[in-house]
Structure 1
Amino acid sequence: MPQPIFLAAIPHDASRAARPRIGDQLVEAGDIDNDTLDWALMRQRGSLATFGEILERNGHITEERLYAMLAEQFQTELVRFPGERIAPDLLDRLGPSRCATDRIAPLGRRGGVTLVATSRPNRFDGIRPDLEAVLGPVAMVVALQSELGEALSRMRRHHLVRQAETRAPGPHSARTLYGSRRWTFAAIFAAVFLVPAIMMPMATFMALSMVAFATLIVNTALLVVATHLDRVRGPDERGETIPTLARMPKVTLLVPLFRETEIAGDLLARLDLLDYPRELLDICLVTESCDRVTAATLARTTLPSWIRIVSVAPGSIQTKPRAMNYALDFCDGSIIGVYDAEDQPAPDQILRVVRHFAASTPEIACLQGRLNFYNARDSWISRCFCIEYSTWFSMTLPALRKLGWALPLGGTTVFFRRAALEAVGAWDAHNVTEDADLGMRLARHGYRTELLNSTTEEEATTSAWKWIRQRSRWLKGYAITYAVHMRNPLQLARDLGPWGFVGFQVLFLSSLLSTLLAPILWSFALLSFDIPHPLRGEIPANLSLWLMVGMSFTAICNWAASASALIRMGKPELIPWIPVQYLYYPLATVAILKSLVELLVCPTFWDKTEHGVSKPDAVAGRA
């Protein structure tokens, strides 16, 4: 390949005034007409995108043509990969992650300077001093962004994988919990619970009953508080209009995909409905390089220029957070969002995110949108799942926020200020509920999460076994998150404050115990039907009566909160299905038993939820 020619003697700042405008170049070459030029210039006034990005993302020029014109504008050469080679020693001196973030790649020394390829020539002067401090005199050449990213990934994929797996700091990561420690925890669990259960079964049952009723009281109290606080809505929940921004930022949306065969067409159609300028929308489909199923699906799909694929190299583990950590260095946006493959976000959702962040102080680092299901009527499982989600996102999460407690994030429709996300170490690659863990780490670093007044609908699992598999992963992740942050309880209390520490216990410990000990509570219903019970004769008649009254009160609170949530989420037709949840709850106990086994045997195992198996209710109804 011929060596590129460049103007090493002329600093870019000095030659800037003499540079031709790329728009004039394109008009003169016949690539665009004057009307398109005027349209792009007007669009650029309200955008942080470059003029070339506006044209390329909206289909007026190709990526190859854009970068050829940029090379001509900056009086340098266009290099192409994989024909050009990156200098590995210089790459390591700069750091592969930094090169991926800054979109640069050192090509070697030529003519007394180091050639550095970049896909952001307009920003090169800003990083030139830092580059020259490491490499000495440098000269810029231009490379296509798609080719540059692939070349960096090929050259140092193992380094990028290691960083993705260890990005979260060790004290706040689950990776330091595994190994022989989990068997130590199992031995402690056996000593504390199983041995007393064998030696003193009645006393153990009585103690566990007291813990079960305590968690019931705590969870019921939280539900009552949530119902009360539901009447007091914050500004973002009342839906007030946030002022329009003068210049809109770039937003990156990460969409992790794994073994997807049916979702590609629907996914692209749903993403295409997003009402946000295409030049400011950077959508990354994050795939695993070993996933031939998804690769074949995407190979049959024509992707628009504003959607690209980031392929993650194999590593020691394979989890969704690891894949997102890997992709983070290749993101363009100052706001990072996450969607699942089956998501159907509201069209104005990204606009709401951008305006919400613009109207917020910097400590508001994260926005969590509401989730619900578009296939709620598919089965009794999906109906109950929808009831549960409606209560969680429209009642419980707003209550946690108003109480000042840290919010456990959802795995989708969650948006971050990129600077804050990177400051806390992004996602923990070894935690299977990386979302809930990240919510806690943000809070521990002094950041806050707010709720976004926008809903994304997704696909609910429709069979009991699929639901158990998904829920077991969530419960396993909750247990891992609790163990990670409780390694140093005093430090956790200092980070969250005493009240926040209480909220952490209510959120994680109470949730896990209530699920695990639920069968003990159900057993007390036997007392009402004169059926043998371990504590019959041990509990005074008056106390037994009060227990039944308390459990009935809890049921009424649950029904009332669920009905209110369904009305608020626009699904009142599901209210008659609320009693069916008593057949639904036992599935969670099966799920937590599965998760306990996995904690010992395969703590990072990701039980994949299959997408694309159920159509939206409206489509199913028409069919």
Structure 2
Amino acid sequence: MGRPAHGSDGLAGTEARPVHRRETAEHTTTRAQRAVAAYLLVGLALLGAWSPSSLGATLVGAAMVFLTAYMVLRLTLVLASRGYRTPEQEPVPDDELPRYTTLHPMYDEANMIPVVVAAMEAVDYPRDRLECLLVLEERDGATVAAARAFDLLDHFRIVVVPAVRPYGKPKACNYALQHATGDLAVIFDAEDRPEPQQLRKAAATFRAAERRGDRLGCVQARLVFDNEQPLRDGEGRTRRDDDGYDVRPTTWTSRLLGNEYAVHFDLVLTGLARLGLPVPLGGTSNHFPVALLREIAFEREQMPTMPDPDDGSVGAWDPWNVTEDAELGGAIAAAGWRTTVLDSHTDEEACLTARAALNQRSRWVKGYAQTSLVLLRHPWRTARAMGPLSYLAFQLQVGGTFVSLALSPVFWGLFGAYLLTGSDRIASLFPGPVYYAGMALLVVGNLALLTVSLYAAESRGRHGTVRHLLTVLPVWWCLLSLATYVAALELLVPSWRPSWNKTAHGVRHLGMGRRLALASATWFAAPEPTPVRSVAKPAVRFLPPDRTAPVLATGYVAPGVVAPRMPARPARPVPRPVRGGARPVVREVPKAPVRWLSEQSREAVLV
């Protein structure tokens, strides 16, 4: 098949469209945006000085309108996903399959090299048409050394990214794209295990779209957290390795993360694809025509640190955006191309702890906010490129996620404070219709979110997740809001946490039952006997054997000797003079617990 409707000088078979100039997130806001924000704050301050109650009602009303629009969009996408049809595929013979390049960006993951190789060896695709690029960082010597020491097959290549800021996955993908020789490209993370037929399905989908004249720019596979539920044996017990660690680690965090993926990829993204709206891509398993990536790449002056490529393109991913995939989905839509969801999945590994999930979610929410702010720099121009409805839907997806998670604790706090205090000031924020609309949004909205989560769990057969959704889902929502506040702090104070919040993979984990068993074995085990330690022998002077040893305070006497009655000691012992000089006085032994040992002649050991 060769290139699927792509040429080296652009994309063939498409009508001419105005080129949409992309902008990076190197700076959080522009001068114009800061000026608009300042004018808005001044206006709100004047309104508050004139009528504080009017200011509060205005802010509450605007927030409720925004949250209502966001909720309506989410529910619309969920309903639209029920009628989603898998994109048409046209089988491609092996000798006509396009050349495929897989990008595997890795950092500080030397232990994942065998996992990546094994995952790609399981993929069903001709090896002479497959190119696997291990994209490694120059400053990560351990992973580079591990990759070079590994016995890689011929279709694997190592690409070392220069240690030039900004660091991160998007910059690595941009650098690797300059070395890609394939017609199609896909990104896989280190822990990804794609379905063996995924590359063939993607190639067949692109070929069918080419035959129809469809402007298909990206194919997104579904992502699945395989450790949403534990791996069990035939008797229903959790499988563990020889060291007692779970073969497939599962926690309440991984279950709820897996449920989020089910909602996002099975319902939200499929609903967007069915309605023809822009899709905020996932960070992995998104397939692109290489020619399209080079056509919509950033301009040379926007990335001065990138080396000059042969084809003039610099890179399709924004290296300053921590959710470069979502931004790329909007750029594809602005260029007039469509994204669809593939009937294929990729297994991933979810975070196991709440702290790791907090770091990951704060990065994702921060990237969504960055994408929204970039699109707000020139809203009319971007809306013309995407289409007004598409632009609004995309903004509600990326910006609405940030705003809704930030506002949710505020409304819950106001509701709880009013129930506890009955404050008239809080009541003044919700006059008449606003109050009833707010109560409906609070009750119906949260029940709708819970219903969607339960539906997504049941549709994937994750019956064990339902119990966690009914018990800890509010705690999970609080965690997401906390991640949003962390992301806001990172945006306002970039120097506070400038590094990429990387998620660790290949983590070993002991199940809760196993940890409790080990802990209880330690807590309730019988104490070991305390060994008798030898101590320094006290300075004791024994009388000659022919004389009776004095009875000590402990009541013990020399073995085999009957203690006579001891006469009362005089108040002042008077030494008796002896011939040849004064005789030394036998002083009383200090009162201490002494045990006589029969096996050693007349020796004492302190107990």
TM over 0.5, yes or no? yes
C-alpha distance in 2 between matches for 1:376 and 1:250: 34
C-alpha distance in 1 between matches for 2:221 and 2:48: 44
What pairs up with 1:153-164 in 2 under 5 angstroms? Answer: none
What pairs up with 1:132-147 in 2 under 5 angstroms? Answer: none
Q: How has the CA–CA distance of structure 1 residues 410 and 192 changed in structure 2, closer, same or farther, with 3 Å as cutoff?
A: farther
Q: Which residue of 1 aligns with 2:267?
A: 395
Q: How has the CA–CA distance of structure 1 residues 518 and 234 changed in structure 2, closer, same or farther, with 3 Å as cutoff?
A: same
Q: TM-score, normalised by structure 1?
A: 0.66
C-alpha distance in 1 between matches for 2:354 and 2:338: 36
Give, in angstroms, the shift of residue 615 of structure 1: 6.7
What pairs up with 1:8-19 in 2 under 5 angstroms? Answer: none
CA-to-aligned-CA distance 1:53-73 (integer Å, 9 cap, x gap): xxxxxxxxxxxxxxxxxxxxx
Q: Which residue of 1 aligns with 2:551?
A: none
Partner of 2:96: helix, strand, or coil? Answer: coil
Q: Which amino acid aligns with 1:521?
A: F
Q: Which residue of 2 aligns with 1:330?
A: 179
What pairs up with 1:263-412 in 2 under 5 angstroms? Answer: 263-361=112-210, 363-377=215-229, 378-412=250-284
The answer to whether the Cα contact below 8 Å between 2:135 and 2:172 also exists between their aligned partners in 1 is yes
Q: Which residue of 2 aligns with 1:563?
A: 454
Q: Which residue of 1 aligns with 2:83?
A: 232
The counterpart of 1:214, out of the listed 36, 46, 65, is: 65
Q: Which amino acid aligns with 2:269?
A: L
Give, in angstroms, the shift of residue 213 of structure 1: 2.2
The answer to whether the Cα contact below 8 Å between 1:373 and 1:459 also exists between their aligned partners in 2 is yes
Q: Which residue of 2 aligns with 1:597?
A: 489
1:429 matches 2:319: yes
The counterpart of 2:500, out of the listed 579, 590, 606, is: 606
Q: How has the CA–CA distance of structure 1 residues 182 and 319 changed in structure 2, closer, same or farther, with 3 Å as cutoff?
A: farther
Q: How has the CA–CA distance of structure 1 residues 542 and 594 changed in structure 2, closer, same or farther, with 3 Å as cutoff?
A: closer
C-alpha distance in 1 between matches for 2:369 and 2:45: 19
CA-to-aligned-CA distance 1:437-481 (integer Å, 9 cap, x gap): 111111111111111111111111122221121112112211221
C-alpha distance in 1 between matches for 2:382 and 2:277: 13
Runs of 5+ consecutive residues of structure 1 not aligned to the other structure: 1-45, 49-100, 103-167
Partner of 2:111: helix, strand, or coil? Answer: coil
Q: Which residue of 1 aligns with 2:98?
A: 249
C-alpha distance in 2 between matches for 1:271 and 1:197: 61
CA-to-aligned-CA distance 1:328-378 (integer Å, 9 cap, x gap): 111121001001111121111111111111111362011111112011142
The answer to whether the Cα contact below 8 Å between 1:223 and 1:561 also exists between their aligned partners in 2 is no
Q: Which residue of 2 aligns with 1:554?
A: 445
Partner of 1:415: helix, strand, or coil? Answer: strand
Give, in angstroms, the shift of residue 263 of structure 1: 1.9
Partner of 2:262: helix, strand, or coil? Answer: helix
Q: Which residue of 1 aligns with 2:478?
A: 586
Q: TM-score, normalised by structure 2?
A: 0.68
CA-to-aligned-CA distance 1:553-601 (integer Å, 9 cap, x gap): 2222222222222233332331222232211111222222222222233
Q: Which residue of 1 aligns with 2:26?
A: 175
Q: Which residue of 1 aligns with 2:107?
A: 258
Q: How has the CA–CA distance of structure 1 residues 503 and 614 changed in structure 2, closer, same or farther, with 3 Å as cutoff?
A: farther
Give, in angstroms, the shift of residue 204 of structure 1: 4.6
C-alpha distance in 2 between matches for 1:389 and 1:260: 24
C-alpha distance in 1 between matches for 2:31 and 2:278: 31
C-alpha distance in 2 between matches for 1:542 and 1:480: 34
Q: How has the CA–CA distance of structure 1 residues 172 and 179 changed in structure 2, closer, same or farther, with 3 Å as cutoff?
A: closer
Partner of 2:350: helix, strand, or coil? Answer: coil
Q: How has the CA–CA distance of structure 1 residues 546 and 329 changed in structure 2, closer, same or farther, with 3 Å as cutoff?
A: closer
Q: Which residue of 2 aligns with 1:511?
A: 401
1:496 matches 2:396: no
Give, in angstroms, the shift of residue 265 of structure 1: 2.1
Give, in angstroms, the shift of residue 177 of structure 1: 5.3
The answer to whether the Cα contact below 8 Å between 1:251 and 1:336 also exists between their aligned partners in 2 is yes
The answer to whether the Cα contact below 8 Å between 2:136 and 2:159 also exists between their aligned partners in 1 is yes
Give, in angstroms, the shift of residue 302 of structure 1: 2.1
Supply the RMSD in Å over aligned alpha carbons: 3.3
Give, in angstroms, the shift of residue 186 of structure 1: 8.1
Partner of 2:387: helix, strand, or coil? Answer: helix
Partner of 2:123: helix, strand, or coil? Answer: coil
C-alpha distance in 2 between matches for 1:251 and 1:568: 32
Give, in angstroms, the shift of residue 325 of structure 1: 0.7
CA-to-aligned-CA distance 1:101-122 (integer Å, 9 cap, x gap): 99xxxxxxxxxxxxxxxxxxxx
Q: How has the CA–CA distance of structure 1 residues 285 and 539 changed in structure 2, closer, same or farther, with 3 Å as cutoff?
A: same
